[in-house]
Structure 1
């Protein structure tokens, strides 16, 4: 006769081992979360260092050195570098290693051509789906940029200026546009360093404010025109030559 008290007593030992306990599942989930958090943190720190011009185009990103700095394995660093390479922020050179991307003149032109096609579409979609919350986020971000300019914090100005365009794409609600805009923004930051475009003229203080004003008034035509003029100013401020100095990776990522 079946006795429910004996249920599971006759299970094979191997089957019992294949059934993870609740604490075991939680521990595995925590490990995955920690791994993902570490990966994302390292990615963001390298990404921001590039945006803030602390890592210049052509800088070598030595796996062993980065592993020491972030206290992780070289395999973890390799994963992060592969992700950055997928986004064209880093170049992986066989037998030589990883380097911060160094866009050519032709690539620079391609980036601006892409931005002139994408950003008007971003603005149209953002205006069509505009909410008070979205407008507030844009305004708050612009306030941070204005504050950074007043403090003459050039690194923050460069980072926040690039992030403004990524934020607009994110708020527009199209994930594909947001991914593309993030990549194009960081490539533009690299080009500003590479071709010695002065921040004061490449990203003028009032242009983002004017774009936000047009968005707030739902004036898509004006917003698009202002954005295209903004991109013209950035591109026209770039020179055809630039140089990258050797850098101390540990100094850049010092906590």
Structure 2
């Protein structure tokens, strides 16, 4: 085992392999694009071959994805693509309306110029992702809008609670919200921002609770492909897209298909 790990580390050094952040980005995109069917096993050996990195590096990425609730990691069984529960949406969005109504109500009178500028820049980034048709980035930035609001309260307890609730809804949005709703999300975030800029507590609370309720009502089961593409094909496509957008910093690109689809 030790010899195998040493060889993998040597291979990474020689080839300029993907780092953990890049492997995470590729897997997260494939998951949030809904391209990996629920329940698919994400074997360490298989992923290590796809990305040309050590199993230890893959294991760290899988644990991070598990912490972010993008996958499930089961002791003695491995990692699996998560199966979002649409029935959970009502409970989670109710909790978010209660918490985030309080957050924006507080910020309506506490938001400073720096915080307002931070939100304005973030909404501009959301609109740019929408214009580019980048669903993955749009979902990520949409989630970040809410965690930024929590961060602006300066309260670490609120920040942790918000991160937990946002993590619970990211896969719900990825799987069940129509692609066409990206524009709605941006417009609704801008409405919250305008209310905060106007220092109107009532309008900010109303804009936020309306936004979260609309997101919840837009969640609908999707019609899935009868035969999803092989996992290695999905990941190679995601990896190629990542390289296109991030340059040639990460090499290797194994030409052969891994010997097994699970470990």
> 2: distance between equivalents of 1:181 and 1:51?
19
Q: In 2, distance between residues paired with 1:153 and 1:86?
A: 24
Aligned match of 2:179: 199
Question: Is 2:43–2:79's contact at 8 Å kept on the other side of the alignment?
Answer: yes
Deviation at 1:56, TM superposition (A): 5.8
CA RMSD of aligned residues (A): 2.9
Range moving further from structure 2, 113-122 or 211-220: 113-122
Alpha-carbon distance in structure 2 between the residues aligned to 1:56 and 1:142: 31
Aligned residues: 218
Instruction: Note if 1:112 corresponds to 2:93.
Output: yes
| Alignment of structure 1 residues 154-193 onto 2, 5 Å | 154-193=135-174
SS at match of 1:61: coil
1:170-195 CA-to-partner distances (Å, cap 9, x unmatched) read 22222333333334334323113333
The higher-RCO structure (CA 8 Å, 6+ apart) is 2
Cα pair 1:58 1:101 within 8 Å, conserved: yes
Match of residue 199, structure 2, among 205, 214, 218:
218
TM-score in terms of structure 2 length: 0.69
C-alpha displacement of 1:85: 2.2
Cα contact 2:30–2:235 (8 A) shared by 1: no
Alpha-carbon distance, 1:104 to partner: 1.6
Shift of 1:203: 6.1
After TM superposition, the runs of 4+ consecutive aligned structure 1 residues lying more than 6 A away are none
Among candidates 99, 106, 130, match of residue 149 of structure 1? 130
Unaligned runs of 5+ in 1: 1-37
- Larger Rg belongs to: 1
2-structure distance, mates of 1:173, 1:46: 31
Residue 99 of structure 1 aligns to a residue whose secondary structure is: strand
1:69-88 to 2 correspondences below 5 Å: 69-88=50-69
Consecutive unaligned residues of structure 2, counting only runs of 5 or more, are 1-18, 244-263
TM-score, reference length from structure 1: 0.71
